[in-house]
Structure formats: structure tokens, C-alpha cells
Structure 1
Amino acid sequence: MTNRTIRQRLLLSVSSTTLTALLLCVSAQSQASAPISGLANKTPSADFATTRDDRPHFWESLALEPQNAWSQLRNSFAWQDEQLSAQAQARVDKWIAYYRSSPENIATITERATPWLAWITQQINARNLPGEIALIPFIESSFDPSARSHRGAAGLWQFMPGTGDALGLIRNGQYDGRLDVVASTQAALDYIEMQADQWYEGDLSLSLAAYNAGAGRVNRAVRDAQSYGKSGQYWDLQLPDETMHYVPKLHAIATIIADPERYNVILPDIEIAPAFAKVRLRNTLTLREASKRLDVDQSILAELNPGLLNDTMNPRHGQTLLVPNEANPERMAKLALGDRNAQVATANPTTYRVERGDNLSTIAARHNLTQQHIMRLNAIERPDSLQPGQLLTLSDS
């Protein structure tokens, strides 16, 4: 059981206990206010009504935190309660001070994260990884999917060409999978998990160090630390400066995101539903044509699909076109299957936009699916977490 799962169960337990106590309290107050039979010349109902009018309604007094991408991310944090050594905490505190000294930079970077954060957090949760991993693009690329380094790294996750090739990210004159947010995110998470399992017995801090400096260098540093009688954990290692700062930076920015008011940081509003939907194409399509057929601005499609180097989607290179989640579902289905198959697209939609009053059970029944199937496809943890306007994927294809 992960720290996140344990924390969620504890929160649920505390919430249930608190709710029970509050209900008992309300019950006791109601009984105390109830009329006592046998009292002459009393109008208890009027007295009771006055008492109730003066007292806040019970359900209105339960202030629930509005759910958005930031609260979803905070709920998946797993490192915030870790007790670091004084030396390790000092390394984290150094970067907290650095980041909070320029809150405008945090505002700019988190604003740039708006299209991607909710979806990346869903992918992190689906793999049961610590939510802090979703903030790696903050460090790597400042959440710019088109970012390129002078050393040749590219994309949100800053893959070098050789690493991207090894992970199956296609790269040619028309398409660069390192710039494709969906493809590169899956590759990055695969890579982090693979290295943690292969080399570090699941230790994600060591895997992140290897993500930055290479497994060979980190493995040598682990052996060197152990030869001096140390445990060989990340905080014991002597590594290049960039890698020494890598995990402390991630701890620092996560600490600020966990409590932005404390650090005088204002985060942009980001909805809990991903900002984009995925359309799988069968035929080559230009963004100009997609713009016309979807009635979506071409510049928005270009921003969502930075991997398309000449604004053309070729299914031989990449098949998934990202479109704004407010795009018309029927138009998206027609775009995927072609106008000649419009009837099929309408009868068997691959997406569904949640409407007010919908629940997962009725949506599943309407499309002849199981709730579990929809939850798996959309990385939904709780059936009651649907939000009006949320776009659900209904098919693996």
C-alpha cells in the first residue's frame, strides 16, 4: 500500500468519524429543541422554527474544497510527510527560497502547464506514482512542450535523441515524438518506473537521478557511497551539480504547490478535467483541414500538437491528434472515421461529455460498457468524481 493510499484511507476514516460526530451532535440538538408533551399554553413549533432559523443549516456548514487540477495533484502527493535529514532538508529549503524569491516565474510556468497538468496527473495516478512526479516538467522544460536545450534534449520531458529513440519515440522530418506530450509522457513514466525496478528496488529518487544523469553514473555513485558505509540513497550520493539539485528542486516546488498561500504564490485556475481530447486518425490530415472540420482555431491545434513539425498528421508516424476538450464530439468522430462513416461515428461515439445530473452508472449503461472500463480508460479513482463538461474516453481505439 502506497503512502498516498494510506493517507487517503486515513482521511476517509477521519472524515467519516467527524461526520458521524457532527450528525450525533445535530441529532442531540434537535432532540433538545423538540417540544415536550404536557406543557400547557406552549407553541413549540414556533419556538423550534425560530431556533432553526437562527442556526446555520448543517449541510451548509460543511465546507467542501472545490476540486480542480491542483487539489487533484495535492491529493496524490506522497513525499510531503517524509522526514528528511537536516542536511537534505537544507538542500530543499535552499530551492524553496530560490523559487519563492521570484513568484512571477512560478506563475508563468504554472500558467504554461494549464493544458497538460490535469491529464499528466491522471496518468501519474493511474500508475500509482507519487504526484510529485507530475512536476518534473516544471524542472525540465518549464512546462514548454516545444522546449529544446543546447545539448539536443527536447520536449516537455527533455529527452535526448538517443534516449527517445530507445524508448520508441519516432523522430523524422515530419514528426518528433519527444515533442508529442501524450507519447513523451508515457515514455517518461515508463522510463522512470523501469529504472526504479531494474536498478534501485523501486527507489524513485535514485531513478530520477538516473533520469537526469544516466543510470551508469548513478550506479557508480551508489557503490562509492556504500563503500564508505553509507546506505546509498539519493541524499548520500556525490553527483554532478545538476543532479545533486534535481530531486531537491522537485521537493521544493511540490512543497510550494502543496501550500501556495504560505509562500505567497497564486496558481492559475486549472479544471480537473483534461483540457484536450484525443482523436485517432486513419488518414493524413493537415491542421488547416482539421481546423475547418472541427471549427477550432488552427493555432490552438498547433499548440496542442507540437510534435507535428510541418502541421500535418501522418498516421504512419503518429495517429493521435489532440483537440480542445470543448470540440464537438460528433465532429471529432467524423474526423476520425471520415464523413462517409458519419452514421457509424454517431451511433458508436468514442467520447462522451458529462452533463449535469450524469453519473458513471448511467453513462456506462447508455453505451453498453462497465463502470470499471470507463474508470480505467480515464484514470478515474472515484465513481462520484465526475464533473459537468468533463470529456470521457469510451474506447481503447
Structure 2
Amino acid sequence: MIKALLLVPVLAFLASQELYASVSAFAGDSVATTVATEDTAKYKPDTSKVAQQVLPFEEAAEVFPIETDELIMDRMSCLQGTIPLTFNPYVRQFVDYFTIKNRKYTRRMLERENVYFPLFEKYLAKYNMPQELKYLAVVESGLNPKAVSRTKAMGLWQFMAPTGRDFKLTQNQYIDERLDPEKSTDAACRYLKMLHNMFGDWQVALAAYNCGQGNVKKAIKKAGGVTDFWAIFPHLPLETRGYVPSFIAVNYAMNHATDHNLFADTLLYAHDTDTLHINDYLDLERFSEHICVSTSQLMDLNPALKVKYVPEHFRNFPLKVPAHCSEFIAHNRGWLLDSCRRGSGTPEPMIALLPDNLKPEASAKNTRKFENKKSLYVVRRGDVLGKIADDNGVSLSNLKKWNKLKSNKIMPGQKLVVMKTVPVSPKKQAVATQPTQLAKAPAAKDKPAATIAASPEKTVAQTSATTPAT
């Protein structure tokens, strides 16, 4: 009875309001990718005129039902869980938005739900929280882990930088854990639990998640101390007034999509991954070459990384890799990590291993010389191009260049050209540095013959391995 009385002035207030102009303003995915471009500010949902709405051509060609308030209310009553799914004209407006006006957005969420909902459900169960909170990420980010809002909130749960730091999400020049699905979900659960403990009402907690505890406390004070979302509704920021109704509408739309003829165009699922713990510098571009996946795919599996390497000071960094690479990585972990450290795979690795007195940059007294030597390697079953390059002390890019390879694919029996930097043999070097006698001048000129020592032959070894000998 009390809530019914409270709703009277609220609904009167709603009657004079337009639907919050930008559902996409709190759906970070739409903001980040500018998918939602329609002018929702002009969309004033009136349930009696929904069928007359002018829809985009793509949507107008679809057949979908216009459900009555009574039917939607009945369906919502069957979905009721811990968080009240209040139905009123304002919520109905958002139901229409997700089931009629922006069906494309809802279909996209249906495509992605299998990727992220299992993760959300795991953490919600861990903290003993209502499972329906998983739909909040649909409102926040459109289930896009890389979503960035116009206010620089980031990730699936749209953490602002200060709030992220409050909940131990690391943010620096190398990494932003607001973009990490696991860690940001854990932080979001802790934050929402804290807000619920603070206000004792889930709808009010959701409002605080959107606009902050301070704004909610002010709204409660203006409403006479009543801790009820619909009572404080007129005193909340405009965006927050649409936030909770949108959460309720998304909950309904995702559960009753088929009743509105809404189906995913495709179904996405999370990649099967394994975790490799890294304790030293790792060049991800080189590492991805070795395990035959694209660098972009590896970065997608690790969205928190802002750079294409794991810094040397990171300890026990959990690098996610495709599960199908696990066996190869397990059998080749040593050389894989070694070859991807800072400074590895340099053009002249063989020279670096030589004693100082044999290096071409040694003092003038050093008479040893070097040259590039061409050799052939016959591919054996089980060989990997990256390992062949490392075993021969050359870079993968050079090996591919020397053999005109466009990919890392090789076949048993295939012959590969390998250019190695080796010292010139003492005998060959002695011949090269031996003085040369010049011929006598013509007798007619009557000048004595001159003997001039030839300058030492230029070394070939100082040519980088990145420049094969021709």
C-alpha cells in the first residue's frame, strides 16, 4: 500500500518526462563503437501508439508482436527473484526500446551471452549474490570487455579509474585490469555487495553503482529518508532514472526474446584457453609467431594488456593462450620463453656468443674476420619454423625472408636456406692479408719498382644477419 502511494507522484512525474534520451549513454558498447546512432531523444514511447512507430527499414521488415501490459507483467512475475522487477509505464518504455526500437542491440546481446554469463554466474555464486545481476553488464557495456564510455569508464562493468583503484584493479602504462573480464567481474561483485550492505535495497544499490553513493544519499535525503528507488527517482540524475528501468527491461528482453521473435544471428562462445604464468619479459609478437596464432588474437585473450609484451618486472602474470597450443608450449616452454626475452633473436646472435677477441668490433689488433655462410636445413616431421630459427641463431623473420615464405607453414623434406655468421678460417684469412707485389714500372720511365702492402680485405661478417649474402 505504501509503495503504491509512493508511485502516484512518481508516475505523475514520469508522465511529463520523455524516455531518457540515450539508452546507449549507459550501454558502453554503443558509446564505444557508436552503434546506436538513432535519435532516441525523439522516441516518446506511448504503449497505445507503439505499433505506429516508424522503424528503420531493416526492423520494419520484421514481424514481431506488440504485447499487452498485462502479458508483460505476467511474464515478469514469473522472473521475480531477489531483485524486484517492478513493472510500470516507465519500465514498459524500456521494454519497447529493447524489443521493438533497438532489436539489433538485443540480438547482439543474445549472441554474446554464452561468452560472459557463465563467468558472471561463477562470481555471483562466489559472493552469494542474485544471479540476475549478470544482466547489469548488458546495460553497462553491451558485453564488450573493451568498451570505453565518453566519461572514460572501461570494461564489462564500466569502472571509472578511481573506483577501479579502490577495488584493487591495477592501472598503469602496461596494464588496465578494468579490461580484465575475471578481475573486473570480481571487483564489480564486491562493489555491488558493498552498496547493498550500505543501502539495504538492490534497486537503490544499482542506482548508486551508476551515479555514486553521494548522489543517492542526497536523493534519499530529499525524499524524506525513504530508501526506495521509485521514491527517490525524481531526485536522481537523469541517466540514473533510466538505469534501473533499463536493467529490468533487459532482464525481461533476454529471457523472453523468442516471444518477441528475437534470435541471435550467430552464437558466440568463449575460447578454450589455458594460462601460462610469466615471470620475465615476453615479446608477444614473437611469441604469437612461435605458437602460430595472430598477435591480435593473443591480445584479445588478454584485453587488460596495453602493450604487446609482458614487462620484465611482472611476476606470475597469467597470460591466457589458446588451449590447442598448450601441448606445444608445454614441450617447448624453455626455448619459447628464452627466444621471446628482451634482446633475444637479434640479427647477430652467433657473434654475441663468440669470445671478445673474435668479435668483429674488437680492437685493431684483432685480425680475425667473419663471413656469412649459406647452409641448407632439411625439415623433419614435427619441426616448427620458429624453433628452427632459434636453433640456428637467426630470427624468424630473416628465415622466412631468405626462403620467400609468406607463412610459418613448412613440410617434411622441405629444404630451408640458413645464413650463418662464422669466422673466416685462419688459412683463408692469411691469404687475404698477405702483402701483394705490384709490377715494375715500364723501363722507359726508369723508376724503381715500389712494393706496397695491400690493405686488409673488408670483412663480410660485420654484415647483419638480417641482410643475407648475395
Measured against the shorter chain, the TM-score band is: 0.5 to 0.7
Supply the AA of the counterpart residue of 1:131. Q
The equivalent of 2:98 in structure 1 is: 99
The equivalent of 1:116 in structure 2 is: 116
Cα 1:262–1:328, aligned 2, differ >3 Å: closer, same or farther? same
The equivalent of 1:302 in structure 2 is: 299
Once residues 174 and 93 of structure 2 are traced to their aligned partners in structure 1, the CA distance between those partners, rounded to angstroms, is 42
Supply the AA of the counterpart residue of 2:255. A
Cα deviation 1:212-261 (Å, max 9, x = unaligned): 1001111222233244xxx4212221311211111111111111111221
The equivalent of 1:241 in structure 2 is: 238
The equivalent of 2:215 in structure 1 is: 217
Say if 1:279 and 1:322, in contact at 8 Å, map to a contact too: yes
Deviation at 1:276, TM superposition (A): 4.0
Supply the AA of the counterpart residue of 1:140. E
Q: For 1:1-397, what aligned pairs fall within 5 Å after superposition?
A: 79=80, 88-101=87-100, 102-197=102-197, 199-201=198-200, 203-227=201-225, 231-237=226-232, 238-267=235-264, 268-270=266-268, 275-314=272-311, 316=314, 319-324=317-322, 326-331=323-328, 338=334
Supply the AA of the counterpart residue of 2:218. R
Say if 1:118 and 1:275, in contact at 8 Å, map to a contact too: no
Once residues 315 and 176 of structure 2 are traced to their aligned partners in structure 1, the CA distance between those partners, rounded to angstroms, is 9
Cα 1:137–1:313, aligned 2, differ >3 Å: closer, same or farther? farther
Say if 1:79 and 1:251, in contact at 8 Å, map to a contact too: no
Say if 2:124 and 2:130, in contact at 8 Å, map to a contact too: yes
Once residues 149 and 240 of structure 1 are traced to their aligned partners in structure 2, the CA distance between those partners, rounded to angstroms, is 17
Say if 1:294 and 1:327, in contact at 8 Å, map to a contact too: no
Once residues 222 and 331 of structure 2 are traced to their aligned partners in structure 1, the CA distance between those partners, rounded to angstroms, is 59
Deviation at 1:285, TM superposition (A): 2.1
Once residues 307 and 247 of structure 2 are traced to their aligned partners in structure 1, the CA distance between those partners, rounded to angstroms, is 34
Say if 1:175 and 1:318, in contact at 8 Å, map to a contact too: no
Cα 1:131–1:338, aligned 2, differ >3 Å: closer, same or farther? farther
Give the secondary-structure state (helix, strand or coil) at the position aligned to 2:115.
coil
Relative to the length of structure 2, the TM-score reads 0.49
Cα deviation 1:120-164 (Å, max 9, x = unaligned): 222223333222221222111222222222222122211111111
Q: How many residues are aligned here?
A: 255
Once residues 214 and 174 of structure 1 are traced to their aligned partners in structure 2, the CA distance between those partners, rounded to angstroms, is 28
Deviation at 1:196, TM superposition (A): 1.5
The equivalent of 1:51 in structure 2 is: none
Q: Which runs of 5+ in 1 are unaligned?
A: 1-76, 342-397
Once residues 258 and 238 of structure 2 are traced to their aligned partners in structure 1, the CA distance between those partners, rounded to angstroms, is 30
Once residues 259 and 329 of structure 2 are traced to their aligned partners in structure 1, the CA distance between those partners, rounded to angstroms, is 43
Q: Which runs of 5+ in 2 are unaligned?
A: 1-77, 338-470
Supply the AA of the counterpart residue of 2:267. D
Say if 2:106 and 2:254, in contact at 8 Å, map to a contact too: no
Q: Tell me the percent identity.
A: 28
Say if 1:205 and 1:247, in contact at 8 Å, map to a contact too: yes
Say if 1:124 and 1:131, in contact at 8 Å, map to a contact too: yes
Say if 1:110 and 1:143, in contact at 8 Å, map to a contact too: no
Once residues 94 and 171 of structure 1 are traced to their aligned partners in structure 2, the CA distance between those partners, rounded to angstroms, is 38
Say if 1:78 and 1:131, in contact at 8 Å, map to a contact too: no
Say if 1:93 and 1:252, in contact at 8 Å, map to a contact too: yes
Say if 1:103 and 1:264, in contact at 8 Å, map to a contact too: no
Give the secondary-structure state (helix, strand or coil) at the position aligned to 1:193.
helix
Deviation at 1:274, TM superposition (A): 6.9
Deviation at 1:82, TM superposition (A): 6.9
Give the secondary-structure state (helix, strand or coil) at the position aligned to 1:249.
helix
Supply the AA of the counterpart residue of 1:236. A
Cα 1:277–1:236, aligned 2, differ >3 Å: closer, same or farther? farther
Deviation at 1:278, TM superposition (A): 3.5
Give the structure with higher Rg (CA): 2
Give the secondary-structure state (helix, strand or coil) at the position aligned to 2:260.
coil
Q: Which moved more, 1:309-318 or 1:236-245?
A: 309-318
Once residues 181 and 135 of structure 1 are traced to their aligned partners in structure 2, the CA distance between those partners, rounded to angstroms, is 15
Cα 1:99–1:80, aligned 2, differ >3 Å: closer, same or farther? farther
The equivalent of 2:384 in structure 1 is: none
Once residues 255 and 115 of structure 2 are traced to their aligned partners in structure 1, the CA distance between those partners, rounded to angstroms, is 20
Once residues 99 and 222 of structure 1 are traced to their aligned partners in structure 2, the CA distance between those partners, rounded to angstroms, is 30
Once residues 90 and 318 of structure 1 are traced to their aligned partners in structure 2, the CA distance between those partners, rounded to angstroms, is 52
Cα deviation 1:262-313 (Å, max 9, x = unaligned): 1211134355x77544433222323324424544332222222222111223
Give the secondary-structure state (helix, strand or coil) at the position aligned to 2:168.
coil
Asked which structure has the greater RCO (Cα within 8 Å, sep 6+), the reply is: 1
Cα 1:161–1:113, aligned 2, differ >3 Å: closer, same or farther? same
Supply the AA of the counterpart residue of 2:186. Q
Comparing both structures, which one devotes a greater share of its residues to helix? 1
Once residues 90 and 105 of structure 1 are traced to their aligned partners in structure 2, the CA distance between those partners, rounded to angstroms, is 22
Cα 1:95–1:126, aligned 2, differ >3 Å: closer, same or farther? same
Say if 1:115 and 1:275, in contact at 8 Å, map to a contact too: no
Once residues 186 and 211 of structure 2 are traced to their aligned partners in structure 1, the CA distance between those partners, rounded to angstroms, is 20
